[in-house]
Amino acid sequence: MSAIRQHLIDPEICIRCNTCEETCPIDAITHDSENYVVDVEICKACLDCITPCPTGAIDNWRIVHKPYTLEEQFSWEELPEELGIDEDEVEDTVQEASEDEANAILEVAHTGESGKVIPPFSAAHPYINIYNRERPLIARVAGNYRITDDDVESDIHHIVLDFDSKTFPVLEGQSIGIIPPGVDEKGKPHLMRLYSIASPRDGERPGHNNASLTVKRVVYEESGETQHGVASNYVCDLKKDDEVKVTGPFGATFLMPNHATANIIMVCTGTGAAPFRAMTEYRRRHMYKASGKLKLYFGARTPGELPYFGPLKKLNSEFIEKQLVFSRLPDQPKEYVQDRMRNNADSLAELLHSKETYVFICGLKDMELGVDEAFSDICKDNDMDWDEIKQMMRTSGRYHVETY
């Protein structure tokens, strides 16, 4: 049987000054005429209440199998004895700092990069971890639009979040966390999910303190049951003016180079397009005449399932080379991004020769391997050593992978 470490207040030492209740960012502390108590259902052990307590009564913990209820705590004249349960039985819970939660997700997403990763030398300096699970930013939904065709299964939404006057500086390529409300069937708060920002640093609307996300509604079959992803369904169902708990920003390496001579090769599928929409839009707004090339490989099953298909098509091909690749067109053989890349071998090889070229890959895990093989083949045909080039690109902050 697993145990938890329960936060309790020593009623013999507490002077009921209300400081802890006032300090708690999530209202986990309450009181009656006798005792101040901590609600185990709410407390996340952020420890914000510990230092302000003038008495030290707040810093008490008991390892329990069954947590003490509020009623039990109200009735206490003194703390119960330790139960003698072993520390080892305490299960790790989501109560760890939310930065760790985000880190763990990003670590998995960046496994394709292997080794130490550094951002492009000209990347803007990122701010990270401004808001966490204990102290999230409350954003307001400014808009929520389905951006895949109505008749296709894939339900992808473009969500605009407004941060009002709160400080929330984000860069293209960074992610933010969304905390779905409520708890899972075990009574634990839902895990945070990370979503890439789909808008540039100066906002979805230029000069506005807002940002957009690209989120696909996750629906899958498991043991004959249809399952709905908690976070993605929560986000896709958000209504205008709903409030959303946001954490972050997160991510300090998957960032766009800011110098005008940088070539950016972007490879993505599905919602992996989000960071590239952001980067492209930044270049469009602020560096339209940049000499560096933009090259986008974007895969989907059909045009109706390709997010932002309409706006993308309107972009001038002088400004960005768009390679939109579809794997389920009627009467056409299946084509994947790596196939198209092989078809463009010459131009890609030329770009790979340049120290000004930056590669960003974002999408499903399966795609990453295919893209890597394509690069390898292209190099082989051009008497280049992909492993060597990739290594060099990595160490100079020019090769970035984010997959899920």
Task: Give me the residues that bind another protein (CB under 8 A), please.
Answer: 12-13, 15-19, 22-23, 33-34, 48-49, 51-52, 54-56, 59, 77, 99, 103, 125, 127-131, 135, 164-167, 169, 250, 252
Looking at the Cβ atoms of 19 and 154, the one nearer to another protein is 19
Residue 107: alpha-carbon gap to chain centroid:
11
Q: Are 11 and 34 in contact (CB under 8 A)?
A: yes
Q: Minimum CB separation from another protein for residue 20, in Å?
A: 9
Query: Is the Cβ of residue 165 or residue 316 nearer to another protein in the bound state?
Result: 165
Question: Strand pairing partners for 194?
Answer: 177
Nearer to another protein by Cβ, of 2 and 33: the residue is 33
Minimum CB–partner distance for residue 122 and another protein (Å): 18
Provide the angle, in degrees to the nearest 10, between the axes of the packed helices 365-381 and 345-353. Answer: 80
43 is catalytic: no
Q: Tokens for 404?
A: 């899920």
Kindly state the smallest distance separating residue 385's Cβ from another protein, in Å. 33
Q: How far is the CB of 116 from another protein (least distance, A)?
A: 14
CB atoms within 10 A of CB 320: 18
Quick one: 51 or 396, whose CB is closer to another protein? Answer: 51
Q: For residue 230, what is the DSSP state?
A: H
Active-site pick, 362, 368, 379, 399? 362
**Locus of tokens 């394509």:** 374
The active-site residue out of 98, 154, 175, 196 is 196
- Rounded least distance, CB 389 to another protein, Å: 28
Q: Is 196 a catalytic residue?
A: yes
**Of residues 96, 321, 373, 404, which has the active-site annotation?**
404
To the query of whether residue 195 is one of the catalytic residues in this protein, the response is yes
Residue 246's nearest CA partner among 182, 294, 192 is 192
Per the listing, tokens 């009564």 go with 57
**Smallest distance, Å, CB 162 to another protein?**
14
C-alpha atoms less than 13 angstroms from C-alpha of 79 in its C-beta half-sphere: 22
CB closer to another protein, 254 vs 297:
254
AA identity, residue 254: F
Active site residue 402: yes
Question: Choosing from 195, 297, 336, 358, which is the catalytic residue?
Answer: 195
* Residue 362 appears among annotated catalytic residues: yes
Strands 294-300 and 321-326 come out as parallel
**Comparison of 30 and 382: residue with beta carbon closer to another protein:** 30
Structure tokens at 4: 């938890």
Residues 295/322, Cβ–Cβ less than 8 Å: no
The SS3 assignment for 34 reads coil
Q: Which residues are catalytic?
A: 195-196, 362, 402, 404
